Structure 1
Amino acid sequence: MIQQPIYTVKSGDTLWGISHKTGVDINHLAKINNLHGKALHTLRIGQTITLPATTALHDTTLDINILDLTFKPIKNAHLKLEYDGDLHEVTANSNGVVSNIHINDHAQGLKVQFRGIDGKYILIAEHKTLPLGRKLLTLTSREVVLKGAYYAKPGAQRQTKTSIKHEIVRANNGVHIKPKGATPKPDAALGAAPTSVNKETRVEGGIPVQVAATIFTEGNLLLSPGNEKYRKLILASAQRYGFTPHTLAALIDAEASKSKDTWEADSFNKSTNAAGLTQFLRSTWLEMMAEPRSLMNQRLKQEQKFDKIIGELDSSGEYCLYSVKGSGKNQIKEELSSTLIANLLKWRFTPEYAIDTAALYGKINLEKLAKRGLNVASLAPEDLAKVMYLAHHEGAGGAVAVIKGTLDDKRAKKNLPKQVGNIQAASLFARFKDNHVEAYSYWLYTYTDSKINVAHFMVKSAGVAPKNAAKIAETLGAPIIPKPAEKVAAKAPALLTKAGASEGWHDPLDSCTLRTAKLASVKSATFGMVRNGGKKAHQGIDLKADPGTPIYAVANGKVVAFSHDVSPGKGYGRTITLAVDIQDLQKKQRDLVLAKKADAEVVYFFYAHLKNIDANINVNKNAEIAIAKGTIIGTTGDTGNANGMDTISNGAHLHFEVRLEEHPRTKLLDRLDPKPFINQCN
């Protein structure tokens, strides 16, 4: 029996220090040792820390959800997984899920074979590459339909497509959309969706192999039972704009918020303010409202008796809509009222408009790419969805820059860490020999492949071979992006013996300067009883920063709290709280804490009025996330009571605090002056 390696805690050790000494990711250490909350910061001398058998940094961690053709989980499904050059046999649980598949090299891809009731394995998915990070892969076996609670039978042999369709309809009676009249109401009832557990899922791309016929028809659109209510709308919009329904379904799936396998029409993202089935932002939605081809535009003109609707940016950069009546000298142009705009934004929650607008938005992006010289008309129908998604993700100009190979190196170097984090970005840059453009383009193509798979929405797809995004780009003239160099297993650094091996400090901003704008004097930006003539406390310091300025983790620590409360004029707005073991601090900062509280073990750093929080923190909202010193954890903003402070001259700033308790008492209790902690503060 092979014994699991262990590490014995010594004086001055912290979990970050042990992570640094052994080369094991701190989150993985915490998980396998069941360390959470205060236990992360209260290691005992002599305590044993279990180490994993391997210290390699995984590219991808997968959870696989295996379903039958009617989207029922296949209980205890037997799978063979081929990745990292090896074959692994696994068994799903009673919910059809295989969890925590750690893949060292994403570039080697993944093959998934499913064992049928005859004992033979069939290939149900093949990924040439995998996306970086943690992903949920939902696979639908085209060969299996469940009957009863436990019995699986080959669907292709004993159940026709028609009977499957009828079975889905019977199982979801009452949720199918009925044909609507000429002027449908935005709040028309659609029927209740099946009850489901709230859980966000992402369907990742695979290449279906077990298929029976080549067909691009209405009846070949495969939707989960919960999404059957959108079928007629998808078919109508796809026909209106010249797409296959599978193309449109794949686009919707990439953008929609999900509850189990059902797209949520009433979803609202508090972080971005995107809303509805297809998650449109305010400005983009209003832009599409001004597009004459959209159903919304046509309905609004009919109901309000407008001859035309146009959109323009006002002096503050906000997108506004105007109605136009008459022509020539008799033309009357008026801005739409705020009340009407508010009602129009509610249309985002109406599936008919959300689906129509998503389809039209994709078509407009294709038109923009064509105007910029890309021959998108030459692409096969099944390949259009990925091009539209590229244009949506990067903007039309950005997509053209990637495809034509004119992407700026600095932009690529800056953007990749924002998408995958600093550690994964550094690893990928190294595998491309620091060719940042190739690394970012490679990531973007593989990410698009993971988000878009038209064949996933086809009952039968033989003869339809969707290209991967890189091949599609090459068809449009893009330079060939090589595969990343073979991944070399990371070696654990030599064991370090001194205490505090992971100590360090990084200022919260690249440039730390106390703000003066909108204050009586610079003193009002400092810590203490400095407001209202010395009558009001300021619990931190204000560092001037335009919204969108990156903020950094000041030391190795754990994100223990964050908030997305962006109520204007109220409180701190969007915030992050970083907990740091004082042994992980640089000596200067550690001494500042101990001078105030001699027995302190943990100190908290609080960032407020933020615009954005790093996506990796948002994704793991139910767990404490280990963050390395110097990691970009978000950007400054003007949320909360800093609302309207959108430029430095208007008072834009980062509010930064040092706390002895995660939830300090009022005024200045349990807080320290942050200014001495910062190495360079003007």
Structure 2
Amino acid sequence: MIHRTDLAALTPAQRANVIYAQAQSELSTRLWRAAIGENDRDGEKTRSPLGGGSDMAMDSLLELLGTQAPKSAKGKCKCQCACSCHDEEPDEVAALPKGPMTAERARAVAERPVALASAPTAGAMAGAVSLGTNARYADTLAAAEARSGIPSAAIAAIVNAEAGKGQDGSWNPLSRNPRSSAAGLGQFLSGTWQTLAEQGGTWLNEVAKARGWLKENGKVDPSRRSELLALRYDPQASILTIADMARNNLQHFESAGLNVRADSETLAKAAYLGHHLGLGDAKKFLAGNIDSARARQLLTAQIGGSAAEQRIASAGDATRAHRQWLLDFIDRHVQPDKFAS
């Protein structure tokens, strides 16, 4: 929050810009909370994004406030995603039932084919992120955006939220969570990394096949597993795999009817939610269905047993404690605008 005395020292035009930027940031946070059915005032769950729609579509609200180009406009949307989601509707989408997200429309959305995001042009990638002490990762982030269609700033925000950092804010490729198997810039669990190596179409799968780490059935050869897991500490491998995982998760969220491309912040936070929890738990989280035992396990892995028990006692149950902690963490740490040039 900007203090009144700080605003007083600015020119009228500067004050207007600061106030508008702050209002836009607060709007983005509220849109993200609304997208996942969360009341930003008291943490109460409102309408599930996997079920019904809201009284006012998020796209319409953004357009009304001038933060998103009208749907009829050509070119990239304000979220700067490299997808075709804001172009004119293709025939198969236009044919879907119109109106609120009814059960019929939800089934139609879930069953339609999901196209891979198209790669941006070199001009769109140039100067896309401002990385400061992490500038050495710019080329890898650009390659990750080109591969996945996920904006570089969103990928950088995920890395920044996950990786350990030096005193100057530089990301530590050797980051390791002492309470789990999470490692590298992306803090990938051993099991998640192995699953992605076995998943066709990922960068990691291509590398695993080329290096002979997979058996004929496509599963990781146990004798080569340690080599595969060591690759988590390679910055390029970690960043490109973050992008692949984000693309996959966002496509699943969209198929379920969740508007993950409302703006750049919503896109980055939705991608981070899928990265942090994994797709299965992320879907349960969005639906409010993570049970108490699993919530306690997840919270303990992140903040330790003692801190987790204190939060659970304060919130009244483990599911609520975990939800409150994770939403607060995402709001504070996943900030793509910080990396936008």
TM-score, length-scaled by structure 2: 0.56
Q: Which residue does the alignment assign to 2:134?
A: 227
CA RMSD in angstroms comes to: 3.8
Percentage identity across paired residues of the two chains = 25
Q: Distance in 1 between matches of 2:312 and 2:214?
A: 51
In structure 2, relative to structure 1, the CA distance for the partners of 1:280 and 1:406 (3 Å cut) is closer
What secondary structure, in the 3-state scheme, does the structure 1 residue paired with 2:218 have?
A: strand
Counterparts of 1:293 and 1:396 in 2: how far apart (Å)? 17
Q: How far did residue 388 of structure 1 move? A: 2.2
In the TM superposition, residue 380 of structure 1 has moved relative to its aligned partner by: 3.5
Aligned counterparts, 1:604-615, within 5 A:
none
Distance in structure 2 (CA, Å) of the matches to 1:271 and 1:357 = 22
**Are the equivalent residues in 2 in contact too, given 1:290–1:309 (CA < 8 A)?**
no
CA contact (8 A) 1:417 1:425 kept: no
Partner of 1:384: 267
Aligned equivalent of 2:331: 449
Residue 301 (str. 1) matches residue 188 (str. 2): no
**Letter matched to residue 131 of structure 2:** L
* Kept in 1: contact 2:253–2:260 (CA 8 A): no
- SS in structure 1 of the partner of residue 267 of structure 2: helix
Cα distance in structure 1, aligned partners of 2:266 and 2:182: 26
Q: Name the residue aligned to 1:287.
A: 195
Q: Deviations over 1:173-200 (max 9, x none)?
A: xxxxxxxxxxxxxxxxxxxxxxxxxxxx
Following the alignment from structure 2 to structure 1, what is the Cα–Cα distance between the partners of residues 243 and 225?
Answer: 22
Report the equivalent of 1:396. Answer: 279
Q: How does 1:78-227 map to 2 (within 5 A)?
A: 111-113=1-3, 119-120=9-10, 218-224=126-132, 226-227=133-134
Partners of 1:454 and 1:114 lie apart in 2 by 26
The residue that corresponds to 2:67 in the other structure is none
SS at match of 2:173: coil
Q: For the residues of structure 2 that align with 1:423 and 1:341, how far apart are their CA atoms?
A: 38
Q: Secondary structure at the match of 1:455?
A: helix
Matching residue's letter, 1:450: R
How far residue 307 of structure 1 moved from its aligned partner, in angstroms, is 9.3
DSSP-derived class of the 1:274 partner = coil
Of 176, 182, 185, 1:274 maps to 182
Alignment: residue pair count: 233
How far did residue 264 of structure 1 move? 1.0
CA distance in 1, matches of 2:329, 2:240: 25
1:342 paired residue number: 226
Counterpart position of 2:247: 363
CA contact (8 A) 1:265 1:349 kept: yes
Change over 3 Å in CA distance of 1:397–1:307 after alignment to 2: closer
**Aligned with 1:241 (options 148, 151, 164):** 148
8 Å Cα contact 1:297/1:309 also seen in 2: no
**What residue identity is the alignment partner of 1:355?**
I
Q: What secondary structure, in the 3-state scheme, does the structure 1 residue paired with 2:185 have?
A: coil
Q: Deviations over 1:441-463 (max 9, x none)?
A: 4443222212211111113xxxx
Structure 1 pair 288–116 and aligned structure 2 pair: CA distance change class (3 A):
same
Alignment partner, residue 140 of structure 1: none
- Residues of 1 paired with 2:209 and 2:170: CA distance? 33
Contact 2:260–2:270 (8 Å) recurs in 1:
no
Amino acid at match of 2:190: R
Aligned equivalents of 1:369, 1:411: Cα separation in 2: 25
Counterparts in 2 of 1:428 and 1:264: CA distance versus 1, 3 Å: same
Kindly report which structure 2 residues correspond to 1:519-668, keeping only aligned pairs within 5 A, or say none. Answer: none
Match of 1:258 in 2: 165
1:387, distance to aligned residue in structure 2 (A)? 1.3
CA drift at 1:374: 3.6
Contact 2:175–2:183 under 8 Å retained in 1: yes
Deviation at 1:375, TM superposition (A): 3.2
1:265 Cα shift?
A: 1.5
Tell me the residue number matched to 2:218. Answer: 310
Q: How many Å separate the matches in 2 of 1:117 and 1:248?
A: 33
Q: Secondary structure at the match of 2:180?
A: coil
Q: Where does residue 529 of structure 1 map in the other structure?
A: none
Tell me if structure 1 keeps the 8 A contact 2:164–2:172: yes
- 1:230 is paired with a residue whose SS is helix
For 1:276, the aligned partner's letter is: G
Please state which structure has a larger fraction of its residues in helix.
Answer: 2
Distance in 2 (alpha carbons) for counterparts of 1:421 and 1:300 = 37
Change (3 A) 1:363 1:240: same
- What displacement does 1:117 show? 12
Residue 389 of structure 1 aligns with an amino acid whose one-letter code is Y
Shift of 1:240: 0.9
**Which structure has the bigger radius of gyration?**
1
Preserved contact between residue 269 and residue 275 of structure 1 (Cα < 8 Å)? yes
- Give the secondary structure class of the aligned counterpart of 1:266: coil
1 CA distance for matches of 2:211 and 2:314?
A: 56
* CA–CA separation in structure 1 for the residues paired with 2:145 and 2:227: 26
Deviation at 1:252, TM superposition (A): 1.0
Question: AA paired with 2:196?
Answer: M
**What letter corresponds to residue 362 of structure 1 in structure 2?**
A
* Cα offset, 1:243, TM superposition: 0.9
Calculate the TM-score normalised by the size of structure 1.
Answer: 0.30
Q: Does 1:427 align with 2:314?
A: yes
State the SS of the aligned residue for 2:337.
helix
Q: Distance in 2 between matches of 1:233 and 1:309?
A: 31
Native 8 Å contact 1:243 1:381 kept in 2: no
Counterpart for residue 519 of structure 1: none
Q: Which amino acid aligns with 1:458?
A: A
Higher relative contact order (CA 8 A, sep 6+): 2
Report the CA distance shift for 1:383/1:218 in structure 2 as closer, same or farther (over 3 A). Answer: farther
The amino acid across from 2:328 in the alignment is T
